[in-house]
Structure 1
Amino acid sequence: MGSINDNKEVIFDYPPFIRVYKDGRMERILESKFTPPSLDSTTGVSSKDVIIDSKTGLSARLYLPQVKDLQSKLPLLIYFHGGGFCIESAFSPVYHSYLNSLVAEANVVAISVDYRRAPDFVLPICYEDTWSSIQWVVSESEKEEWFKNYVDFERVFIAGDSAGGNITHNMAIRAGCMNLKGLKIKGIALIHPYFARELIGDEVGDVSMEREGKFWKFICPLTTGLDDPFVCPHKDSNFSKLGCEKVLVCVAEKDGLRDRGWLYYQNLGKSGWNGVLEFMETEGEGHVFHLFNPTSEKAGDLMKRLVSFISTSD
């Protein structure tokens, strides 16, 4: 019989994401509040929530920019939020604010997907959810009013930050291996993407890598380890089949994931994938700095690069 102290003893701690107690309890260390959809007074962007799968609860938020005189239909942006696969959501204040700004600046229609999160739903469930959301977009292209009236399905982009960048890559791989009738992915943008590397050589004793391996195993119990193609893209035999025409990889100099984003960029360039590959590094900044300081000059530069990536789609 366990002691009363078992209720407080922490056996796994991975801030700011997950804490696990000896008695089996798990908690998200940083949980966000729900922000309702709105007509944003600053950007003029409208938003509304939709149910993608009532059985699983999979849902998303749609965004529509202020449309005064529509000369031609707009690109569609499919966005996946970050948070280590464990925290944050498409409905949190930080992502609602960011999507309002991005939709207004890029003049796109967007769908921000609220996939199910670990540890309640371990990976690869989030990949199944996000793939379902892409298929839902295709099925609703002539039914959902905002899609039907405003979206050019020949200009679809997928983007995400951190874990969302990882998901973005994996969705592009799946799109390259499967037929997505009625939807053409022009490009993907990976912002400070969450990737890992297999433990090799003198890295085996690296404390941070060992800790990361434990975290990955925790959220993806059936994984082969840090050499899993889900988190180590160059180990994927389908790497060169990435299903888009161009890729933008964004990293930040002081981000612990910076080198892995650079490695992704290098390996994709050598993989035989036949597309346009772009890279942007922000000096002096850390992981997803643009979400926490969105009005800064460097956040503005990152926004401009994303907007340019989307707008120069021809």
Structure 2
Amino acid sequence: MDNTTNMSEGQDAQEGQEGPEVDNKKNKKKKRRASSISRHSRGANSKSIRPGAQKSTFPPASFTSNNVQTVQHTPKVEAQQQHRRDVHLLQMKLRYEQKKNAGTSQTVQQLTDGIQNLKEERDNIILMHKKEQQQLVAIQQSIEKDNKVLKDRIQRWQNFSSKKDAEIYKIKLSAARRIAALEKKSLMQLSQSQALQYKNERSHMKSVVALQNEVNRVNRDAEKKLSRMEEECKGKVEAAQADKLAAVAEKNQAIVEKDNAMTRLPISIKAAEHEARRAERQRMSLVCDSYKIKNSKLTKKSLNYCIVLIKQKSNQEKPFNRQTSLSSDPVTYWL
């Protein structure tokens, strides 16, 4: 009972200490309203308890001044009351011990369960250790076996590699000798080919120089002949131009005569034109024959040059007539 009362008093004291701090926080957050009961802000904290102050309690009803009664009991009644109080105390102690023993029995059960679990874990660890030892022995045996096989293979590989190294050395030595011989042979062939190429180039250059000189000589001769032929053609073209002018004058005279004849003769116009054209053709054929005879000694090149000059002169004097057809000789057409 004393323990319970002390615990209750301690809780009340803690509540009394915590109460003002909570109230102060709440009051700080609150705002003053017009409908508040207190007219001053300090009135809100009037019922608070200072920290460390003694809490006031009301006395029981039996200790009030109005209900004070003096009761006198007999020794038998007092003994019965004392007996009841002792029984109640013993019951409370028994309950306390039962609760305490229940806690200890619970802890004992937990400890026994933990010991059992530890034993099971120990057995499992021992079993796993045995299995791991067996596996380790098997692994060691397999490793020893593999090492033995590996050593044998390494020894055989070393023997094989030593043999192959000797063969490779022989092959490299023979290859180096062969390469040296081939290089020597290739250098000799290269020097011979270079000498032969130099000789061929010299002879070729000589032939090229000779041909170039021949070409230059031919070009000079051609230029001389061309200048000479141009001079000859120039004179012949002038003569041909004079013949052309004479032919044109004759043509005009023939046309005049034709017109005069047409006015004199009572014949039709078509017959007169036909007769005039036939006479003109005969006259032009005679002129062309004479021109061909004069220019029979002209070469093809000079003739073409003369034809071009004649065309230029004729284009300046009369336009091109599309109704007339070119004859076999272009000179006769332009004359």
TM-score interval, normalised by the smaller of the two chains: under 0.3
* Greater fraction of residues in strand: 1
Tell me the TM-score normalized by structure 2: 0.17
Tell which has more relative contact order, 1 or 2 (C-alpha 8 A, sep 6+).
1
Q: Which structure has the larger Rg over C-alpha atoms?
A: 2
* Greater fraction of residues in helix: 2
